Amino acid sequence: MHIVAEVLILILMIFFFYIQAFIGLFYKPKKDLSGRTAVLTGGGGGIGRFICRELVQRRVKVALWDVNKAAADKVKEELQGKGFSNIYTYQCDITKKEDVQRVAVETRKDLGEINFLFNNAGILIAKDILDLSEAEIRRTFEVNTISHFWTIQEFLPSMLEKNYGHIVNTASMAGKVGVAWLTDYCASKFGVVGLSEALRLDIMRRGKDVKVTAVCPFFVNTPLVANVTPHCKPYSRFDKFLEPDDCARQLVEGMERNDQTVYIPSKMFPATISSMLLPRKAGYTVNEFAQSGFFPKDYKFH
Ligand SMILES: NC(=O)c1ccc[n+]([C@@H]2O[C@H](COP(=O)([O-])OP(=O)(O)OC[C@H]3O[C@@H](n4cnc5c(N)ncnc54)[C@H](O)[C@@H]3O)[C@@H](O)[C@H]2O)c1
């Protein structure tokens, strides 16, 4: 085809996708999850507990994977007490590829092939880069980023074969903007955003219809944030911390709409774009004004 014709078609397609995206702001049908199966890592944690609730409410069979099986069992018991069944729990350290492979076999025996993978487990240390130990830095990447490769390699093949599935990777707003004292965490979560984007293209190139969503929540009131308080203060001057049930609901609704990125709360999306448009120094000044992040215990707020 002549290059001029190619460029014209390209412009028309861009125009079409703009219109589609605009309509999507107001109306996006949700997919039906009922009768499907899901693996949820970090299922015993603060947000995981409520993602599980959202899924079982939609009649999804859920496998909760957690290094802390007792925490996953507690979530299962609590939801069973409310009349929800179809929850299975497994002890799994997702940083160990052999563990992921072994537990995947057990999970398939109990639930059948897996349709949805929620890479949700994560850790946060929050320290000045000069105080981070080698073990801490490696652990952050192992749990927050590298483990995703093991779970995706385990479950993606059957999704591709059936041409149906969804991989939901929980990153963070710290995977979109840098935050002081979170060098390891930000790098690991920017990694999750990059992995999600590249994976989506890998799947598209195969011509398959497996969805990929990256989730970017702001602060959520969970043990992840509470556990850092002995050595620092998480704080935001203007934005309230989210509650984990609200975060999980928005996450699952975004997944149902097949959103590529879910910002929680949604106002974080325009905030991210506008901060990218500001001159760098203006961006830092706005950050200082907003006082959002992790601070030394003795930090004096305005
Ligand atoms: N809480 C927040 O403010 C916040 C904000 C943005 C993003 N996130 C992300 O949301 C996700 C869930 O966080 P949360 O707040 O529920 O944390 P949480 O600490 O309450 O739960 C995390 C869960 O992951 C499990 N886990 C940790 N290491 C594991 C491993 N090696 N193998 C298997 N399981 C492991 C823990 O046992 C725990 O149950 C994380 O990826 C986190 O980075 C959290």
Query: What is the arithmetic mean of pLDDT over 33-62?
Result: 98
* Residue 127 clears pLDDT 80, i.e. is over it: yes
Q: pLDDT tens digits for 77-104?
A: 999 999 999 999 999 999 999 999 999 9
Q: Residue 18 catalytic? A: no
Residue among 102, 136, 147, 224 to mutate when testing ligand 1 (max atoms within 8 A of CB): 224
Residue-level pLDDT at 75:
98
Q: What separation in Å is there between the alpha carbon of 162 and the centre of ligand 1?
A: 30
144 Cα nearest atom in ligand 1: 41
227 Cα nearest atom in ligand 1: 19
Residue-level pLDDT at 151:
98
Residue-level pLDDT at 89:
98
Residue 292 near ligand 1, beta carbon < 6 Å: no
* Residue 58 clears pLDDT 80, i.e. is over it: yes
179-204: b or e for each residue (b if 16 or more CB lie within 10 Å)? bebbbbbbbbbbbbbebbeebbeebe
Check if the beta carbon of residue 78 is closer than 8 Å to that of residue 103: no
Check if the beta carbon of residue 211 is closer than 8 Å to that of residue 115: no
User: Which residue out of 27, 88, 164, 185 is catalytically annotated?
Assistant: 185
Query: What is the arithmetic mean of pLDDT over 265-282?
Result: 87
Residue 41 near ligand 1, beta carbon < 6 Å: yes
Give dist(CA 190, CA 179) in Å, integer.
12
* Residue 302 clears pLDDT 90, i.e. is over it: no
pTM metric for this prediction: 0.95
Domains of the chain: 31-293 (3.40.50.720)
Query: What is the arithmetic mean of pLDDT over 48-69?
Result: 98
Give dist(CA 286, CA 243) in Å, integer.
25
E strands of the chain, at which residues? 37-41, 61-66, 87-91, 116-119, 165-170, 210-217, 232-236, 261-264, 292-296
Q: pLDDT tens digits for 185-194?
A: 999 999 999 9
Residue-level pLDDT at 22:
87
Give dist(CA 140, CA 187) in Å, integer.
9
H or E element in which residue 8 lies: helix 3-26
Q: pLDDT tens digits for 182-241?
A: 999 999 999 999 999 999 999 999 999 999 999 999 999 999 999 898 888 899 999 999
* Residue 119 clears pLDDT 90, i.e. is over it: yes
Residue 261 near ligand 1, beta carbon < 6 Å: no
116 band by pLDDT with thresholds 50, 70 and 90 = very high
- For residue 54, which of 25, 75, 29 has the smallest C-alpha distance? 75
Tokens 């930000």 locate to 186
Residue 35 near ligand 1, beta carbon < 6 Å: no
| Average pLDDT value for the chain | 95
Residue among 47, 92, 225 to mutate when testing ligand 1 (max atoms within 8 A of CB): 47
Residue-level pLDDT at 231:
84
Residue-level pLDDT at 55:
98
Give dist(CA 51, CA 181) in Å, integer.
28
Residue 294 near ligand 1, beta carbon < 6 Å: no
- 24 compared with 244, residue with greater pLDDT: 244
Residue 220 near ligand 1, beta carbon < 6 Å: yes
264-273: b or e for each residue (b if 16 or more CB lie within 10 Å)? bbeebeebee
CA-closest residue to ligand 1 atom 7: 172
The sign of the CA dihedral 10, 29, 46, 112 is: negative
Q: Is 181 left (phi over 0), alpha (psi -120 to 50) or beta?
A: left
